[in-house]
């Protein structure tokens, strides 16, 4: 089949996802990530639609591997190409390649454009040929192609044939509504190949949760270009997920692509961060849960041979294996965790750790996501490393100060490993915030790095709803120092105490994570 061409549309189709707004700086940063990944084409946006995209395409973007693409539509009915603002914006864009979409479904031609089917074909021919005459290489996106193919096969084929004869170098078949099945996709692709030759691409939306499957079916049927977005972002249910398609093509189907999939996880997380989205931890290949194992029998087999419960090595896509420690994990998981921490996994240590974890999980603790609390617990049980500080006492004051405003103040005593004490107090927006502020204020005298800490998530879970206000609660806290992130956990029938336990663990981990206190 030859090499499969990768066309990324994160910055255009992906940016149509609800809640996403990308600045010019955001787009340039994502472009740099995609170029480093090695995709063939980067569709940057629509120069005729908004100031950000006009500025993006006003000067060339320096790239190492990828080619920038400006996006637009065929011209407006009744307007000569030379006078069409959208086509001229594409003509003037500082890119060699442009992509335009045109109607391939007769229903859209008559109901949306309100023109005849013959006029639509002339519109496509005139638009493509105008751009080609002005030195552009054209990708033609046949919008709603599979719906059109099902409605009137002959007309849908005439649309792509017209675009090809007018000079389009690639013809992309679009499942715009995302409602097609893989078998329907492959059948239409095979048929269309006979009409326009070996220049077909595929663009699938995920409204039936089949975008990746349909994309692979199209490639299997002969399509040589795939379009998609990082993390599958896009309007409605999103687009075909490049982060799944690329490893499927390379590792599962054995096809040739230029992209370096070992960088895929890093790019996936970076794009989510830039777009201000929470990264989907359950995403195949690149999610944090993709190679996470909890079951004891699974872990035991995995440690003997990773292929027993992993379909690919996680390193192939830049991810890593994660062994969860819980009452289900058994001794194999504990041994692996101790090894990772550089602690000799003696039979005594393994038994002590496992027994303590089971006991604490019976009280409501959960260490699967609380990586930092788990590490601190193992250090305490095994006697490896001293605790950097202790909290011998604290108090919380809550007062109403007028106009129904509630004020919280925390007073706390901190003692470091050498016996030095610091006693301080601080206000906060609430009791937990006050404790956090007071602890940081006191601890920064001993550990200046504490000043850089920031809480980025705080969750409270009631463990026994039947106990009402007397129910134990589990508090999970996510913390960052700007370089890394970690999670700690605390459990108590008192939400303040549970919060304090998690906060103390968070700060202990912060000052010991790079080197243990001797």
**507-517 per-position pLDDT tens digit:** 999 998 876 53
Q: Is the pLDDT of residue 155 over 90?
A: yes
What pLDDT does residue 470 have? 66
Are the C-beta atoms of 98 and 72 separated by less than 8 Å? yes
pLDDT, tens digit, for every residue of 295-319? 667 777 877 888 888 899 999 999 9
Confidence at residue 405, expressed as pLDDT on a 0 to 100 scale: 74
Grouping H, G, I as helix, E, B as strand and the rest as coil, residue 472 is coil
Say if CB 167 and CB 126 are below 8 A apart: no
Q: What are phi and psi of 94, to 5 degrees?
A: -80, 55
Q: In sequence order, what DSSP letters do the residues of 16-28 get, joined into one string? A: GSTT----HHHHH
Beta pairing partners, 421 = 415
How many Å apart are CA 213 and CA 191, to the nearest integer?
19
What pLDDT score does 517 carry? 39
Pick 207 or 464 by higher pLDDT. 207
Which range (148-152, 248-252, 485-489) has the least confidence? 485-489
Rounded to the nearest integer, the mean pLDDT of the chain is: 91
Q: Decide: 47 and 11 in contact? Cβ < 8 Å.
A: no
> Quick one: 133 exposed, middle or buried, by C-beta within 10 A (0-12, 13-18, 19+)?
exposed
CB 487 within 8 A of CB 372: yes
Q: What string of H, E and C letters represents the secondary structure of 196-229? A: HCCCEEEEEECCCCCHHHHHHHHHHHCCCEEEEE
Encoded tokens for 340: 């990772």
91 — pLDDT class (breaks 50, 70, 90): very high
Tell me the residue length of the chain. Answer: 518
Residue 330 has pLDDT above 90, yes or no: no
- Give first-to-last CA distance, the chain, whole Å: 60
- Whether the per-residue pLDDT at 236 is higher than 90: the answer is yes
In the chain, domain spans: 5-20+38-259, 292-382, 389-512
Distance of alpha carbon 172 from alpha carbon 224, whole angstroms? 10
As a whole number of angstroms, the distance between CA 271 and CA 15 comes to 11
CATH annotation of 5-20+38-259: 3.20.20.70
- The CA distance from 145 to 191, in Å, is 13
Query: Could you tell me which residues are beta bridge partners of residue 423?
Result: 413
Give the C-alpha separation, 16 to 269, whole Å. Answer: 19
Least-confidence region, from 40-54, 195-209, 360-374, 431-445 = 360-374
Phi, psi of 185 (to 5 degrees): -65, -50
pLDDT band at 384 (very low <50, low <70, confident <90, very high): confident
- For the domain spanning 292-382, the CATH number is 4.10.430.20
pLDDT at 329 over 60: no
Q: Which residues, 6+ apart, have CB-to-CB distance to 109 below 8 Å?
A: 103, 115, 116, 117, 120
**And the tokens for 443?**
């601890």
Neighbours of 150 (CB within 10 A): 15
pLDDT score for 477: 92
Q: pLDDT tens for residues 187-202?
A: 999 999 999 999 999 9
Domain 389-512 listed as CATH 3.30.160.270: yes
Pick 299 or 477 by higher pLDDT: 477
């Amino acid at each position: 089949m030859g090499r499969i061409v990768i066309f990324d549309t994160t910055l255009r189709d992906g940016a149509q996802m609800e809640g996403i707004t990308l600045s010019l700086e955001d787009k340039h940063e994502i472009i740099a990530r995609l170029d480093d990944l090695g995709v063939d084409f980067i569709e940057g946006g629509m120069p005729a639609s908004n100031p950000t995209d006009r500025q993006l395409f006003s000067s060339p973007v320096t790239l190492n591997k990828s080619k920038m693409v400006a996006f637009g539509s065929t011209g407006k009915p009744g307007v000569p190409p030379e006078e069409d603002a959208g086509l001229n914006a594409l003509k003037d864009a500082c890119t060699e390649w442009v992509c335009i979409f045109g109607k391939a479904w007769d229903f859209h031609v008559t109901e949306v454009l309100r023109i005849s089917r013959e006029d639509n074909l002339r519109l496509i021919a005139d638009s493509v040929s105008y751009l080609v005459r002005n030195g552009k290489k054209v990708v033609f996106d046949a919008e709603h192609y599979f719906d059109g193919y099902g409605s009137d096969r002959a007309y849908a084929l005439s649309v792509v044939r017209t675009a090809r004869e007018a000079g389009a170098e690639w013809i992309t078949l679009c499942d715009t509504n995302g409602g097609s099945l893989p078998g329907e996709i492959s059948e239409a692709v095979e048929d269309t190949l006979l009409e326009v030759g070996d220049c077909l691409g595929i663009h699938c939306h995920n409204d039936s949760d089949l975008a990746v499957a349909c994309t692979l079916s199209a490639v299997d049927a002969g399509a040589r270009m795939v379009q998609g977005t990082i993390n599958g972002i896009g309007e409605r249910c999103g687009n075909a997920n490049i982060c799944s398609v690329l490893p499927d093509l390379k590792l599962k189907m054995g096809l040739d692509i230029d992209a370096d999939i070992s960088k895929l996880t890093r790019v996936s997380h970076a794009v989510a961060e830039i777009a201000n989205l929470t990264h989907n931890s359950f995403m195949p290949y690149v999610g944090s849960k993709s190679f996470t194992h909890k079951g004891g029998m699974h872990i035991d087999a995995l440690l003997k041979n990773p292929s027993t419960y992993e379909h690919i090595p996680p390193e192939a896509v830049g991810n890593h294996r994660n062994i969860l420690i819980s009452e289900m994990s058994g001794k194999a998981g504990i041994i692996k965790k101790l090894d990772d921490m550089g602690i000799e996994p003696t039979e005594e240590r393994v038994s002590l750790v496992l027994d303590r974890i089971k006991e604490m999980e019976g009280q409501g603790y959960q260490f699967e996501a609380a990586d930092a609390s788990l590490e601190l617990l193992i250090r305490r049980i095994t006697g490896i490393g001293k605790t950097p500080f202790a909290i011998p006492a604290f108090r919380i004051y809550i007062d109403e100060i007028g106009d129904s405003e509630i004020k919280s103040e925390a007073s706390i005593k901190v003692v470091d490993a050498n016996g030095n004490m610091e006693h301080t107090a601080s206000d906060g927006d609430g009791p937990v915030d006050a404790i956090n502020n007071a602890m940081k204020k006191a601890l920064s005298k001993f550990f200046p790095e504490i000043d850089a800490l920031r809480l980025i998530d705080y969750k409270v879970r009631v463990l026994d709803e039947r106990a009402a206000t007397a129910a134990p609660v589990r508090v999970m806290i996510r913390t960052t120092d700007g370089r890394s992130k970690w999670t700690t956990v605390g459990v108590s029938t008192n939400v303040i105490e549970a919060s304090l336990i998690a906060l103390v663990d968070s700060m202990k981990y912060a000052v010991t994570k790079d080197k243990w206190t001797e």
